[in-house]
Structure 1
């Protein structure tokens, strides 16, 4: 089954084997965060602690090239033909690396992976919401001015309950004027109001997660009517206990309401998932057959932040 992923944080895509290799290089003790080959956390705060500890072990251009190449090679091995990865200049600076060096390393990894497997990939620069409006604007300017053709989108992640989307509107205007695709995390830890505010003030083409929109039927109708694409990550949602099981996950309801949905893995090793598992769980718990899963991939490619020539080439690969 050909697959496409629109929602994955590149630092969160580093599996435990790669993280332990990096820990050996830098002499770091990861025992509080990795046990028996798995990340250890029990709530959102401890998840972020494990995430940040692992992310801090990527410090050079070559570290990031290796990370991107490693993850995209894994995706290609699972049948993925397209990937978009979220990249964070703020994480780079906290590791002592300039945003341009960080971007250069990731771009090199993307190109290596394509040369080896044929997988297409693009990068979405994200601002971190809880770092404040000025930091998010700085990330938007970097995305707009970086002159890297593999950067095709801008978004915002971080603590969704911090601030109001209107505080970040200028950052999104900067990115939109530069021709970048727009996505934003909303409707994950916060409720339907977060999604509505993001649509009102930031005008995204896609919403990262967005599943809490199901709490408001009028909002669901708006999402369907405006053609907003939801980057759904069911395994992440269940692992973080946003929903207490796949049987209570609203993805089937959103599909019945004619919302456009896709499947992604978010931070795959932390949630013991992968793009393959996301498709498998959709088959197992949501009753999707090959045709429905193929439609999920098609939706992702049609919503991807890519040029039309590449889009048509990917759709042709999907058809084959």
Structure 2
């Protein structure tokens, strides 16, 4: 049973035992780096730092405190990615630390998004030499998986990967990603699905439905690869419909804008499409105005949607799961909703069915529920 994390890392600042009772389905691995790790790596690599170059100035830059737009929110990734790009040791370390941080937040299982191409050397990303580019894609993925496996052994929280393509960028990125995810003999089942997301210069969600993306998700579906799509965050309800009908989405990342179209809203409810909601992120990206009452996630819970609670990018939001729950408590939700969200997430995760059943059983035992 994986009910309680016992810290075995003698150098860790964490010492408390934390019940592992949460499941997180929408978190970006490169958006989960510790500020201390980014600062250490940035200094080592001689990167230009914001402000005076102090750690506090870096942290103040990375953590968004007031609502912005999605493109500005995502701009923080420039320095985050520069600190880990093409550094296999740093990537393994980051994945390992992500597992430790998840465990200390009470997360028993998480699915972390990553785009291998933004982690490889810049000069290789668009190279005509497919062999060199593919080798790097595999190398960075291998480093992340090693970190996840080591972290699981030490902290008893399990993390798998979701390979993410980037809107509006080269077709060969899609091809590489499909080859990577289909190669289960390489990743041993640690890449459990695919997604499409954005960088600051591709955050216009219209490009999500471009022909190359539609072809990619058609092929992924035929290969039996699981699918979750960023939609309905800065794009409208019709984008969610496109994600379902054109990209064969099984889950929707965010999805808040469905409240603007009763037909789409009712479809998501009736078909029990899982919504990976990220409450504080939705405010900071400007997707949902802070003045909107009630927040869509409150409606989702009240209307018995298949919805979960997630952090999205802890490095930038400055939140962990408990912070998200506190925010939801301010909006009138309770622990009963969070428990329900956990089981929604567990049932909607991309684990094989036998592992999913084991996960649900472990959570139930930790809560003291009987089957």
TM-score scaled by length of structure 2: 0.80
What pairs up with 1:154-193 in 2 under 5 angstroms? Answer: 154-158=194-198, 159-163=203-207, 165=209, 167=211, 168-193=213-238
Is the 8 Å Cα contact of residues 220 and 259 (structure 1) preserved in structure 2? no
Q: CA shift at 1:111, angstroms?
A: 0.4
Unaligned runs of 5+ in 1: none
Q: CA shift at 1:294, angstroms?
A: 0.9
Q: CA shift at 1:241, angstroms?
A: 1.9
Deviations 1:42-90, CA, capped at 9 Å, x for gaps:
5433333321221121132211110011111011001110110001022
- Equivalents in 2 of 1:69, 1:38: separation in Å? 24
Q: CA shift at 1:276, angstroms?
A: 2.0
Whether 1:194 and 2:239 are equivalent positions in the alignment is yes
- Equivalents in 1 of 2:208, 2:151: separation in Å? 38
What is the DSSP-based 3-state SS (H/G/I as helix, E as strand, rest coil) of the residue aligned with 1:237? helix
Instruction: Identify the residue that residue 7 of structure 1 maps to in structure 2.
Output: 26
- Determine which structure has more spread, i.e. the larger CA radius of gyration: 2
Match of 2:304 among 238, 247, 258: 258
Unaligned runs of 5+ in 2: 1-18, 125-132, 366-371
Whether 1:52 and 2:78 are equivalent positions in the alignment is yes
Match of 2:180 among 132, 142, 158: 142
TM-score scaled by length of structure 1: 0.93
What pairs up with 1:207-218 in 2 under 5 angstroms? Answer: 207-218=252-263
What is the DSSP-based 3-state SS (H/G/I as helix, E as strand, rest coil) of the residue aligned with 2:233? coil
Is the 8 Å Cα contact of residues 90 and 128 (structure 1) preserved in structure 2? no
Match of 1:281 among 327, 350, 354: 327
Q: CA shift at 1:166, angstroms?
A: 5.5
Q: What's the C-alpha RMSD, in Å, of the aligned pairs?
A: 2.1
**Hey, which bits of structure 1, 4+ residues long, moved more than 4 A?**
40-43, 94-97
